[in-house]
């Protein structure tokens, strides 16, 4: 594991963490034995979790490119960043607009430990990192990093990728997203991916059970529930769809079947 001086006791190495399991399954190197064990168990019960996670990552890239290139967004807030895996949001955005600014948010200390991978900004742009839990939007919005980087007089791209399935109903995930959106000006955008069991209920149910048994409970949501995150917003075509079907770069990969993808994705404009 990389070392950068942060106290090791801040990182829970005894229990798996979703961000590190995700990193392991995607072929990364920043994980611990419990994360590897959890990842192996997920792949065993649902081998499609590998293309599922890859397609979710590709969706994030396409959504960021759309916002930077086609809409002209120049500042982004990325919630639930996870282990830095290139290209990250700022690398995609700054490849189009070198002056783009990005604030990353995550609550796992290992992401902060590895945040050098999130700070390789162009000279014209800027990146900042906030260690915070998305269940506390005020901690994000009132942080010095947010206030110094994000101009609330200009549209913002809010990206919340593959995280709300880890927020239980009692924590009101729709309300959390709304509180993050509320201070953003008209013309801002929300890009989200939302875990679902709609397309492979039995297989994804087994993954859910494995996550829950390892202390990482999930709440998967159907399409109607996914729509709740976008109420009052203007959905960008093609609306809410599986992530591999949201504006694919070419034709949808024929080797990727719908039942392999357990994530809805959408991008919407705040009027």
The model's confidence at residue 125, banded by pLDDT at 50, 70 and 90, is: very high
Q: Looking at residue 117, what is its pLDDT?
A: 56
The model's confidence at residue 10, banded by pLDDT at 50, 70 and 90, is: low
Residue 7 has pLDDT above 60, yes or no: no
All domains of the chain in start order, with CATH: 8-269 (3.40.50.150)
Stretch 110-126: mean pLDDT, rounded?
74
CA-nearest of 64, 56, 130, 120 to 97 is 64
Stretch 89-112: mean pLDDT, rounded?
90
CB neighbour list of residue 166: distance below 8 Å, 6 or more residues apart = 18, 216, 217, 218, 219
Stretch 139-165: mean pLDDT, rounded?
97
Q: Looking at residue 101, what is its pLDDT?
A: 97
Give the residue ranges of DSSP H helices in 114-228.
137-141, 144-149, 173-181, 201-213, 223-227
Encoding tokens for residue 78?
């990325």
Residue 1 has pLDDT above 50, yes or no: no
* Selected residue with higher pLDDT from 93 and 29: 93
CA-nearest of 1, 42, 63, 43 to 245 is 63
Stretch 70-95: mean pLDDT, rounded?
89
Mean pLDDT (the chain, rounded)? 90
Evaluate whether 211 touches 262 at the Cβ level (below 8 Å): no
Q: Looking at residue 113, what is its pLDDT?
A: 67
Question: What CA–CA distance (Å, rounded) separates 42 from 52?
Answer: 12
Stretch 5-22: mean pLDDT, rounded?
70
Q: Looking at residue 136, what is its pLDDT?
A: 97
Report pTM: 0.90
Q: Is 217 helix (H, G, I), strand (E, B) or coil?
A: coil
CA-nearest of 222, 258, 205, 220 to 42 is 205
Q: Looking at residue 9, what is its pLDDT?
A: 56
Residue 227 has pLDDT above 90, yes or no: yes
What does the chain come to in residues?
A: 271
CA-nearest of 84, 107, 88, 71 to 190 is 71
Evaluate whether 60 touches 89 at the Cβ level (below 8 Å): yes
Evaluate whether 79 touches 131 at the Cβ level (below 8 Å): no
Encoding tokens for residue 211?
């996550």
């Amino acid at each position: 594991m990389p070392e950068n001086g942060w106290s090791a006791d801040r990182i829970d190495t005894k229990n798996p963490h979703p961000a590190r399991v995700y990193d392991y399954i995607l072929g990364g190197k920043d994980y611990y034995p419990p994360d590897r064990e959890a990842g192996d168990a997920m792949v065993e019960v649902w081998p499609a979790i590998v293309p599922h996670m890859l397609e979710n990552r590709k969706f994030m890239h396409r959504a960021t490119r759309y916002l930077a290139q086609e809409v002209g967004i120049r500042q982004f807030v990325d919630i639930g960043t996870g282990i830095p895996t290139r290209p990250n949001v700022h690398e995609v955005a700054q490849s189009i607009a070198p002056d783009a600014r990005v604030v990353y948010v995550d609550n796992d200390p290992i992401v902060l430990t590895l945040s050098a991978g999130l700070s390789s900004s162009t000279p014209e742009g800027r990146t900042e990192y906030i260690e915070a839990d998305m269940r506390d939007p005020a901690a994000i919005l009132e942080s010095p990093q947010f206030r110094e980087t994000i101009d609330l007089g200009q549209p913002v791209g809010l990206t919340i990728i593959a995280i709300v399935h880890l927020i239980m109903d009692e924590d009101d995930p729709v309300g959390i997203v709304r509180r993050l959106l509320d201070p953003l000006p008209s013309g801002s955008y929300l890009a989200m991916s939302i875990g679902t069991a709609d397309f492979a209920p039995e297989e994804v149910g087994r993954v859910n059970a494995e996550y829950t048994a390892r202390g990482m409970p999930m709440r998967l949501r159907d399409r109607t529930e996914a729509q709740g995150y976008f109420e009052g917003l203007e959905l960008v075509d093609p609306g809410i769809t599986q992530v591999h079907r949201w504006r694919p770069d070419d034709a949808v990969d024929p080797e990727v079947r719908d039942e392999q993808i357990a994530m809805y994705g959408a991008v919407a404009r705040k009027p």
